Amino acid sequence: MDLELTDQVALVTGAASGIGQHLALGYAAAGAKVVVNDINADGVAQTVAAILAQGGEAMAAAVDITELSNAEGMINDATKAYGRVDILVNNAALLTEHTMYLETDPASCEREIRVILFGTMHCTRAVLPGMIERGHGKILNIATDAARIGQEREANYSAAKGGVISFAKSIAKEVGRHSINVNVVSPGATNSPMRINLQVGLKEKLGEERWLAREEKVKRLYPLRRIGEMEDITNAVMFLTSNAARHITGQVISVNGGFAMVG
């Protein structure tokens, strides 16, 4: 299936590494022009360089989206460079702690919510006027199944992502009349740098043998008996932000190997 993404302008937040970087490279490979956002300027430069190396087109947007003025400036710069933003992927996130809620640092909790929820809201506020004016646009938020069913030791992260889901559904109802689709991809466990780094810590804590046994138990929770890969997320996101998915909006699509079959 040709997703017809050639010459579309896609802005991906949190694209300095991990799933965001994979998404940015995927859009570029499909022929889209990519706006690469992250607060990590070096990572942004690396992602842009990788896109240019594969013959794609990209621009850097190394700004902190927790400030609305930064998000608005980023959209203005992208519009000046490429004429518009057709696709917004709200992917930026951070998981600062993996511990019980009462043991978490309130400042870390606030930081996670500012990046994940406010960052999503700011970028959406900045991009929507242009999409409404043109009568076309795609917005895709990355959530997590932890926000749909709960997750021990990730209460802050889950709460912020839960807000992202509710926000997407509400905006989908507001802007559908302008032919703007707003959806959510909700990953389960995925072999991204965030998960890999977490597993390194667990391996050091538990030891190799106990960690391997734990990983096998985790896989048994998934009907497909595998942990997701970043391309699994990218494939779903690119489909949902293409015209092939023009009649899908306000939906949360879990890409989780069957771990949580949420209605």
Q: How many domains does the chain have?
A: 2
3 state SS of 88: strand
Q: From 93, 88, 154, select the one nearest 123 (Cα to Cα).
A: 88
% of residues, the chain, pLDDT over 90:
75
Q: Is the pLDDT at 46 greater than 90, yes or no? A: yes
Catalytic pick among 27, 82, 101, 157: 157
Is 4 part of any domain? no
| Strand (E) or helix (H) holding 58 | strand 57-61
Residues 60 and 159 in one domain: yes
User: How do residues 136-163 score in pLDDT, each as one tens digit?
Assistant: 999 999 999 988 888 878 899 999 999 9
Kindly state the average pLDDT of the residues 191-217: 82
CA 183 to each of CA 18, 126, 245: distance values in angstroms, whole numbers, following the listed order: 21, 17, 10
Residues 57 and 182 in one domain: yes
Active site residue 222: no
Residues 47 and 158 in one domain: yes
Token look-up 């804590």 returns: 205
Residues 35 and 122 in one domain: yes
Residues 212 and 144 in one domain: no
Host domain of residue 199: 191-227
Q: Is 21 left (phi over 0), alpha (psi -120 to 50) or beta?
A: alpha
Token look-up 């518009």 returns: 84
Kindly state the average pLDDT of the residues 254-261: 90
pLDDT for 32 equals 98
Residues 94 and 197 in one domain: no
